[in-house]
């Protein structure tokens, strides 16, 4: 049964239709990640759930309670903001206890809850400091701590790691993941970083132009994207997309299931580049050696493609090569960009 | 490029000259207040003389300095407090609940300050007269409040604008209602802005003379009217006029001196995030 249910949610800002009919059921304890390009409405949807913006039409229920028009403070949600949004004039302790104080929780209980959360987040030595005396990572942990002490029904994260540097982002991501496992709390996490989406999510929701493109586990989205947009949005580097008539030899591998004006997709690891015989002739345009794997940019029949392999390559830019494609890793899309189900992947 | 020593010297001299020029009238007023009337008009002017406190006693005897001082105090403090009570929520709504018209309203409020006060003299005088409020502290307080309100709203508006909206949203998520949000978050974060706004308006109201001269006389007159009363048809008494002026400005100068730090802090509060 759905714990948090979004029913046909719409949001308009004056003439701009930002959220255009979103239906989504979130189960208790799930970690849901909203991804999409900037301006796709993912943050707006989070703010609608939080009650920071009014829902134009549609309904929102949490644990059986209609919260569509309820003020933020009564929804029993906690939010972690991108800019941390800590109260600059309060100590870490006061920041974390503010909500409990407003809710008139007895003082000794507040002290216990804050102490517990501070311990979980390794903030105990900093409880008397003000936010400006903390580093970015510590501030982010306070923001998370402020949410934890309230034990809300749902945690909302609005791009919480985007203000941190790369190394810290990785660490904090792992901490958030551990915390989620530990608390088992329902969470909604907005990000444009697909590594965060893939590693944190139980289910990922991909948005584009205010509508949901696909909902699924990270690997479902990777292995069975519902359309061209999701196929290209998930995965780094993006899936290679080739028009049906661009490389006939590749299209022939679809056993005739690819429509004439459709598209053929193959992930970089589904392409094999080598100097030997077999496959289509191509030319190496660029080589990106990343250490663990190597990206080889090749051109086949005027179409730029990217191949990924685990081995290092002896190839050089400009080399004439052969490019082969793994027929088990084909993705087929019709002219509208919708995926055509693969016989073997349909279960 | 190393600074040219000539340029530095010239700049220093220029700065001192400008500062002395600005300070001279005030310094001269200070000296004159401690002279006798004869010494005050002596030619060549006296710089060294035996100071006397005679003028101060004379001013108190002749025109009850304390009454005027009390009126100044009441009107400036009351108008500042009332003004803050109105301006704080007004600026709050404009800063955090913007509409398409917010900018226009702010500009309109400011535009009222561009009209010369004398343009509103007749209607306000007649209003005060009809209401039986001529020469009353309440009319003066009201006028001071209203004339300072645009500046107060503007100053508070800009100090609120420095508070990131997300902090208020965080407070809302934490369960704060409007009052709790204001009391626990906005107020502590804008206390510098509130203080400097209050101080500025206190000074403006204390120094105000146009409305004080036109709406009051003996009963509700402020220190501005006291000073004015010393330039009388009987002739100018420079020493007494200086003494009265000094007594009128002294409280606010001393007050300003002590609150300087808060004032500067308040004006730069938003700069340090």
pLDDT reading at A314 higher than 60: yes
> Nearest-CA distance from B149 to chain A in Å?
28
Q: Which residue of B has its CA nearest to A82?
A: B166
Over residues A146-172, mean pLDDT: 91
Report the gap between the CA of B185 and the closest CA in chain A (Å): 7
Cross-chain residue pair A52–B188, CB shorter than 8 Å: no
Best A99, A113, A157, A188 residue to mutate vs chain B (most B CBs within 10 Å): A99
- In chain A, which residues have their Cβ closer than 8 Å to the Cβ of B180? 102
| Crossing angle of the two packed helices A136-148 and A92-102, in degrees rounded to 10 | 20
Query: Among the listed ranges A336-340, B15-19, B47-51, B86-90, which one has the minimum average pLDDT value?
Result: B47-51
Q: Are B172 and A87 within 8 A, CB to CB?
A: no
Separation CA A267–CA A206 (nearest Å): 18
Residue A309 CA to residue A295 CA, distance in Å, equals: 7
Residues of chain B positioned with their CB less than 8 A from the CB of A44: none
- The B-side interface with A (CB below 8 A) comprises 164, 166-167, 169-177, 180, 184-185, 188-189, 273
Q: Is A250 exposed, middle or buried (0-12, 13-18, 19+ CB in 10 A)?
A: buried
Residue among A322, A323, A315, A305 nearest A267 (CA): A305
What pLDDT, on the 0 to 100 scale, is given for residue B37? 86
pLDDT in tens, A36-95: 999 899 999 999 999 999 999 999 999 999 999 999 999 999 999 999 999 999 999 999
| Contacts of B95 by beta carbon, 8 Å cutoff, 6+ apart | B157, B160, B161, B163
Return the residue of A nearest to B171 by Cα.
Answer: A99
Find, in chain B, the residue whose alpha carbon is nearest to that of A151: B174
Q: Is the peptide bond before B44 cis (omega within 30 degrees of 0)?
A: yes
Answer yes or no: do A87 and B273 touch at CB < 8 A. no
CA distance B208 to B205: 5
For residue range B150-192, what is the model confidence (pLDDT) as tens digits?
A: 999 999 999 898 888 999 999 999 999 989 999 999 988 888 8
What is the interface pTM, i.e. ipTM, of the complex?
Answer: 0.87
Answer whether A99 sits within 8 Å of B175, measured CB to CB: yes
Using the structure block, give the residue that is written with the tokens 């949000």.
B181
Place of tokens 């005396």: A133
Residue of A nearest to B177 (CA): A73
Give the mean pLDDT of chain B. 87
Assess whether pLDDT exceeds 70 at residue B109: yes
Q: Which domains does chain A have, with CATH numbers?
A: 4-223 (3.40.50.300), 237-340 (2.40.50.140)
DSSP one-letter code for A23: E
pLDDT above 70 (res A207): yes
Output the pLDDT for position A346. 43
A 28-57 → B contacts, CB under 8 A: 50-52
A219, burial (CB in 10 Å: exposed 0-12, middle 13-18, buried 19+): exposed
Chain A CA closest to residue B179: A102
Closest CA in chain A for residue B173 = A73
Rounded distance, CA B41 to CA B35, Å? 9
pTM value > 0.95: no
Residue with structure tokens 């804008």?
A: B190
pLDDT at A345 over 80: no
Rounded to an integer, what distance in angstroms lies between the CA atom of residue B96 and that of residue A116?
A: 35
Cα B234 to chain centroid distance, Å, stands at: 31
Mark yes or no for CB contact A79/B176 under 8 Å. no
pLDDT for the residue numbered B264? 66
Residue B218: what pLDDT? 80
Please state, for a pLDDT cut of 70, what percent of chain B lies above it: 93
Chain A residues in contact with B184 by the CB 8 A cut-off are: 87, 98, 102
Query: Across residues A136-165, what is the average pLDDT?
Result: 92
In this prediction, residue A285 carries a pLDDT of 94
Confidence class for position A276, pLDDT limits 50, 70, 90: confident
Considering only CB atoms, which chain A residues are within 8 Å of B186? Answer: none
How many Å lie between the alpha carbon of A156 and the closest alpha carbon of chain B? 10
Among A51, A73, A82, the residue with its CB nearest the CB of B174 is A73
Distance from CA of B166 to the nearest CA of A (A): 6
Q: If you ran DSSP here, which 8-state letter would residue B184 be given?
A: I
- What is the domain partition of chain B in residue ranges? 65-224+250-271
Between B162 and A10, the more confident residue is: A10
β-bridge partners, A340: A332
- Does residue B268 surpass a pLDDT of 60? no
- Put simply, the answer to whether A102 touches B174 (Cβ < 8 Å) is yes
Test A87 with B166 for CB contact under 8 angstroms: no
A266 CB-near residues (< 8 Å, 6+ apart): A239, A240, A242, A250, A325, A326, A329, A330, A331
Q: Which of A72, A87, A88 sits opposite B173 (nearest CB)?
A: A72
**Confidence grade of residue B233 (pLDDT, cut at 50, 70, 90):** low
Residue of B nearest to A97 (CA): B174
| Joined tokens for residue A190 | 């907005």
Residue A263, strand partner residues: A243, A333
Q: Enumerate the β-bridge partners of residue A243.
A: A263
CB pair distance less than 8 Å for B173 and A102: no
Please say if the pLDDT value at position B271 is more than 60: no
Give A77's contacts in chain B (Cβ within 8 Å): 173
CB-nearest partner of A103 from B167, B175, B189: B175
Whether residue A86 lies within 8 A of chain B, CB to CB, comes out as yes
Is there a contact between A31 and A201 (Cβ–Cβ < 8 Å)?
yes
Residue B246 CB partners (closer than 8 Å, separation 6+): B29, B30, B33
Architecture of domain B65-224+250-271: Orthogonal Bundle (1.10)
Residues of B in contact with A89 (CB under 8 A): 188-189
Give the C-alpha separation, A214 to A202, whole Å: 14
Predicted local confidence at residue B192, as pLDDT: 82
Which residues in chain A touch residue B171, judged by CB atoms under 8 angstroms apart? Answer: 87, 98
* Cα gap B152→B88, rounded to integer Å: 8
- Calculate the average pLDDT of chain A: 91
Rounded Cα–Cα distance for residues A96 and A110 (Å): 9
Interface test with A, best of B159, B164, B174, B181 (most A CBs within 10 A): B174
Query: What pLDDT is stored for residue A115 in this prediction?
Result: 95
DSSP state of A289: E
Q: What 8-state DSSP symbol labels residue A86? A: -
Q: Give me the pLDDT at residue B224, please.
A: 87
Give the 3-state secondary structure of residue B207. Answer: helix
CA–centroid distance for A244 within its chain: 30
pLDDT at residue B272 above 90? no
Q: What percent of chain A has pLDDT over 70?
A: 98
């Amino acid at each position: 049964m759905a714990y948090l249910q979004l029913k046909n949610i719409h949001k308009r800002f004056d003439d701009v239709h930002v959220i255009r009919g979103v239906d989504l059921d979130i189960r208790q304890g799930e970690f849901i990640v909203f991804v999409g390009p900037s301006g796709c409405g993912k943050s707006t949807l989070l703010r609608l759930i939080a009650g920071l913006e009014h829902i134009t039409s549609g309904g929102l229920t949490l644990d059986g309670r209609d919260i569509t028009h309820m003020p933020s403070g009564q929804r029993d949600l906690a939010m972690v903001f991108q800019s941390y949004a800590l109260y600059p004039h309060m100590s870490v302790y006061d920041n974390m206890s503010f909500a409990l104080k407003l809710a008139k929780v007895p003082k000794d209980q507040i002290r216990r809850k804050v102490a517990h959360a501070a311990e979980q987040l390794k903030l105990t030595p900093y409880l008397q400091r003000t936010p400006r005396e903390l580093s970015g990572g510590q501030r982010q942990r306070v923001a998370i701590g402020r949410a934890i002490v309230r034990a809300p029904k749902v945690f909302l994260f609005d791009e919480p790691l985007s203000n941190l540097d790369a190394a810290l982002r990785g660490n904090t991501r792992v901490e958030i993941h551990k915390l989620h496992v530990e608390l088992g709390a329902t969470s909604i996490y907005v990000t444009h970083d697909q590594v965060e989406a893939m590693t944190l999510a139980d289910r990922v929701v991909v948005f584009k132009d205010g509508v949901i493109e696909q909902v699924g586990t990270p690997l479902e989205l990777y292995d069975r994207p519902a359309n061209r947009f999701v196929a290209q949005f998930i995965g780094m580097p993006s899936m290679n997309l080739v028009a049906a008539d661009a490389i006939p030899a590749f299209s022939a591998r679809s056993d005739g299931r690819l429509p004439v004006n459709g598209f053929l997709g193959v992930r970089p690891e589904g392409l094999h580049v080598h100097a030997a015989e077999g496959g289509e002739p191509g030319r190496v345009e660029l080589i990106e050696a990343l250490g663990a794997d190597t990206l080889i940019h090749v051109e086949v029949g005027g179409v730029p493609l990217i191949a990924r392999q685990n081995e290092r390559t002896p190839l050089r830019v400009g080399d004439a090569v052969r490019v082969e494609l793994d027929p088990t890793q084909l993705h087929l899309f019709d002219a509208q960009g919708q995926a055509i189900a693969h016989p073997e992947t349909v279960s | 490029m190393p600074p040219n020593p000539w340029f530095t010297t010239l700049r220093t001299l220029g700065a001192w000259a400008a500062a002395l020029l600005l300070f001279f009238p005030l310094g001269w007023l200070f000296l004159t207040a401690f002279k006798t009337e004869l010494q005050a008009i002596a030619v060549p002017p006296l710089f060294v003389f035996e100071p006397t406190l005679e003028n101060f006693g004379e001013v108190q005897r002749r025109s009850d300095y304390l009454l005027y001082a009390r009126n100044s105090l009441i009107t400036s403090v009351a108008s500042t407090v009332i003004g803050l009570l109105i301006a704080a929520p007004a600026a709050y709504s404009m800063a955090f609940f913007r509409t398409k018209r917010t900018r226009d309203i702010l500009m309109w409020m400011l535009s009222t300050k561009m009209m010369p006060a004398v343009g509103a003299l007749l209607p306000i005088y007649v209003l005060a007269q009809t209401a039986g409020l001529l020469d009353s502290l309440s009319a003066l307080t009201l006028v001071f409040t209203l004339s300072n309100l645009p500046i107060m709203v503007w100053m508070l508006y800009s100090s609120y604008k420095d508070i990131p909206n997300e902090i208020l949203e965080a407070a809302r998520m934490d369960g704060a209602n409007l009052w709790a949000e204001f009391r626990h978050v906005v107020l502590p974060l804008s206390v510098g802005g509130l203080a400097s706004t209050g101080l500025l308006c206190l000074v403006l109201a204390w120094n105000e003379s146009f409305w004080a001269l036109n709406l009051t006389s003996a009963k509700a007159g402020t220190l501005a009217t006291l000073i004015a009363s010393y330039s009388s048809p009987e002739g100018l008494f420079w020493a007494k006029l200086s003494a009265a002026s000094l007594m009128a400005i002294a409280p606010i100068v001393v007050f300003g001196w002590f609150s300087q730090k808060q004032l500067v802090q308040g004006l730069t509060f938003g700069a340090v995030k």
